[in-house]
Amino acid sequence: MQYLTKALQTDKITLKNRLIMAPLATSKSKEDGTVSDDVLAYYNEKSLGGYVSLFVIEHSYILQQGKASANQMSVTNDAVLEGLKQLATTIHNNGSKAVMQINFAGSASKSEITGEVVLGPSEVVNPLHGGEIPSPMSKEDIERIVDAFGKAAIRVKKAGFDGVEIHSAHGYLLNQFFSPLTNMRDDEYGGDVHNRIRIHLEVIKAVRDAVGEDFPILLRLAASDYKDGGITIDDSKIAAIEFEKAGVDILDISGGFCGYTRPGVKEPGYFSPLTEEIKKVVSIPVILTGGVKEANEAEQLLKDGKADLIGVARAIFKDSKWAERAITG
């Protein structure tokens, strides 16, 4: 595994190989979103031996109003810090690094879960998650959520993680702003692609201001909705260039309102046409996740230059020894 076992070094993070465990919601947190013993046991089992270079911890909500589901992990306040510190320490003690993915669900949330009004860019029911008609966000709502991303990021840093990932995929809020399917705004946050990523750039700035210049920022980008009238790869190439300029250190490419799969395609690395195009316009590392079940599939995708890092989730979820076999051969 010449390519999979090769180290990757940026000016902010060194990874001992190219294998990432992609985020996968476990629903194992306590009801209040704090880390449970089940969460610690799960990540301890997956990280034993340190064969995975980097774990991207499942999406965690930054405000109660942006909670996506019951037993989702929280980064909403300092009360969660102790559990998050234990989680980071558990993974580090096993020899891997970890970043936390932070998120606001927007129209993918449900008032019965959050106890609050469902928000979105526009009055459009979520094409992936369904649910309620969201209330269009005011400028004050946007400012409050941008600020919450920054505050969540500093908690991630205080907890001892190696970086933070901003979630803009799989039909959640930032994906909703980016996609013409759900963004019908006629203000500076709607219309052309530069306006639709305005909130992303504000979030990136808030996170960078919070964590400082040396802390890695990743961004999971819905590079295509694979739906008529949705996000296109041309949109995403423009966005990727702007995100790199704004200070994103690694781009993690996935789907938008198609979810984490590509319709009608089951081949390993099914988002590789997206990562291949994104790599043409940025100099930062790009993560490819989706459909990789065997180590030789990851090796071939890296060899072919489809991505710089390979994310695997379900294969490791099903078999905790998968990473060991992949790396040791």
Do the domain assignments include residue 138? yes
* CATH number (domain holding residue 171): 3.20.20.70
Encoded tokens for 160: 């001892």
Provide the mean pLDDT of the chain.
Answer: 97
139-158 and 81-93 helices, crossing angle to 10° = 50
pLDDT in tens, 4-56: 999 999 999 999 999 999 999 999 999 999 999 999 999 999 999 999 999 99
User: Which of 156, 177, 178, 160 is CA-nearest to residue 62?
Assistant: 156
pLDDT over threshold 90, residue 308: yes
pLDDT at 102: 98
Residue 304: its pLDDT value, please? 98
pLDDT top residue among 288 and 266: 288
Catalytically annotated residue among 51, 61, 172, 270 = 172
For 168-186, what is the mean pLDDT?
98
Residue 1 maps to a domain: no
Q: Which residues contact 185 (CB under 8 A, 6 or more apart)?
A: 121, 122, 136, 191, 195
Band (pLDDT 50/70/90 cuts) for residue 302 is very high
CA distances from 305 to 185, 269, 287, 288, 290 (A): 38, 12, 11, 11, 16
Percent of the chain at pLDDT exceeding 70: 100
What mean pLDDT do residues 182-205 have? 98
User: Would you say residue 1 has pLDDT above 90?
Assistant: no
pLDDT higher than threshold 90 for residue 266:
no
**297 inside domain:** yes
Scanning the chain, the segments in alpha helix (DSSP H) are: 37-47, 81-93, 111-114, 139-158, 173-178, 193-196, 198-211, 233-246, 272-279, 295-303, 314-318, 322-328
pLDDT of residue 329: 85
pLDDT digits (tens, 9 = 90+) for 102-151: 999 999 999 999 999 999 999 999 999 999 999 999 999 999 999 999 99
Q: For residue 218, which phi and psi values (nearest 5 degrees)? A: -105, 160
| Domain assignment present for 3 | no
Q: How many domains, in total, are found in the chain? A: 1
**Domain extent for 35:** 8-328
pLDDT for the residue 142: 98
Q: Is residue 41 part of a domain?
A: yes
Phi first, then psi: give them for residue 136, nearest 5 degrees: -60, 135
**Is 29 contained in some domain?**
yes
Count CB neighbours of 325 within 10 A. 12
Q: Band the pLDDT of 317: cuts 50, 70, 90.
A: very high
State the angle between helix axes of 233-246 and 272-279 in degrees (0 to 180), rounded to the nearest 10.
50
CB–CB of 284/244 below 8 Å?
Answer: yes
Instruction: Name the packing angle between helices 139-158 and 198-211 (round to 10°).
Output: 30
Q: Is residue 316 in a domain?
A: yes
**Amino acid, res. 54:** L
Name the band, by pLDDT with cuts 50, 70 and 90, for residue 157: very high
pTM greater than 0.75? yes
CA distance 296 to 323: 12
189 annotated active-site: no
3-state secondary structure of 158: helix
Identify the CA nearest to 68 among candidates 58, 60, 77: 60
